[in-house]
Amino acid sequence: MSVQRKIEISGALCVQRGTQMLQAFADAATVSEHQQIDIFSPDSREGYQRAPVTTRVRKAARYYDEKQGRMPNPLLINVRKKDMDEQRVAIVVDADHAGYERALRRGGNWIGTGRIAFAEDLELWIYDGQHRAGGLNQLLDEQQDVYGDFPVPISLTLGLDQGEEMREFFEVNTNAAPVKTDLAWELLTKMAEDDPELREMLAAEDRDWVTRAYAVVDELEKLEGPWKGRFQEANRRKTRGDGVTIPKPQFARSLKPVLDMPLFKRAEADKIAAVINAYWTGIRQVMPEPFEEPTDFVLQKGSGAVALHRVLPQVIEVVRSTGGGLGQPNLYADVMIDLPTLEGEAVDNDGQRAIRSGADFWRVSSVASGFSGDAGRRRLSLLIQSRLSSPAETIQL
């Protein structure tokens, strides 16, 4: 027995490369009653969207209410594949039903008009436009009689599964109005895990270092060492005393010079993570103070991570030239023994200039903090390199 269908939406119906789509308007009350948003959870690793930003929701509400704004751009919405059975969703084509069916069978294209009728408990998954929808939800809570019939433009895809929906979200938010890097890279990594073609495409375009970097960070988080508990996840706010020092994507990006080494091109993520962990453990041996209160120093923030990973290829080559294993922290400590000799001029709280070295060089608002931006971090890495042995010095003929 079919489920009673109470909701209908009519509009321009099409088949685009085998996928059914409806361009239409629906009243705000209907959209609000049926909408779902698949928010990424840093605990379960499920979902794919950023948590809604309250200020953006309020701004949208004020725009539609106080400024009498309109909504010309459609919300992008999907009816998921698991719900696309005749008991829950019916698609009615106004004309040329044969052409419509042919396009579905052949994965082709077709344009016409029609409508969908669906069960009152059907979920409509918004994958772009959650803040605009949230603004309308707020107004509906306050003024249902005024905004219940507000026409909301929707672009409705019919039958994508969650993975395809997530990919649409990624493409829209990276090619048009970019989603923040932390979540975009997280999504790219998730998609590549299940999509061999995407992995091949990234490798061909020399972009697979992003997914490899995230895999390394995930392995590094499992290890006891200087970086355990230091990464800020997407959708997880930093709180006082949590020990977090750097956003996960910033650290992942800092790994590119290491991942570009021929030695690591085909290496497993856990092995690369073990090398990085040993390297930083060696640094901690020669200069422990910044690791005891890491939020008071920039060593494990952007400036330190980027600069020290830029010099890591040189350090690795020196360690290899001695015949030592790359997982031994004491060998890195030997190479980095002069790191505490870095020094520079800083201005103290009294406005006096003073020379800072050792751990004080790396304190927040001290010398290392002045090496900002990519150019500054490059200069900092060159300064560190000046304290290291060159691999060429160990060549034996």
The pLDDT value recorded for residue 392 is 62
Say if CB 331 and CB 295 are below 8 A apart.
no
Q: Is the pLDDT of residue 171 over 90?
A: no
Least confident interval from 4-13, 159-168, 190-199: 190-199
Answer yes or no: are the C-beta atoms of 11 and 26 closer than 8 Å. no
pLDDT digits (tens, 9 = 90+) for 204-256: 767 778 888 999 999 999 999 999 999 988 777 888 888 899 998 899 999 99
- Residue 113 bridge partners (DSSP): 12
pTM of the model: 0.63
Burial 194-232 (b: 16+ CB within 10 A, else e): eeeebeeebeeeeebbbbbbbbbbbbbbebebbbeebbb
Q: Residue 1 above 50 pLDDT? A: no
The beta strand positions in 19-96, using DSSP E, are 19-27, 35-36, 75-79, 89-93
pLDDT digits (tens, 9 = 90+) for 91-148: 999 999 999 999 999 999 999 999 999 999 999 999 999 999 999 999 999 999 999 9
Q: How confident is the model at residue 50 (pLDDT cuts 50, 70, 90)?
A: confident
* Summary mean pLDDT of the chain: 89
Q: In the chain, pLDDT over 90 holds for what percent of residues? A: 69
Q: Has residue 394 got a pLDDT over 90?
A: no
Phi-psi region of 96 (alpha: psi -120 to 50; beta: other; left: phi over 0): left
Query: What is the per-residue pLDDT for 209?
Result: 83
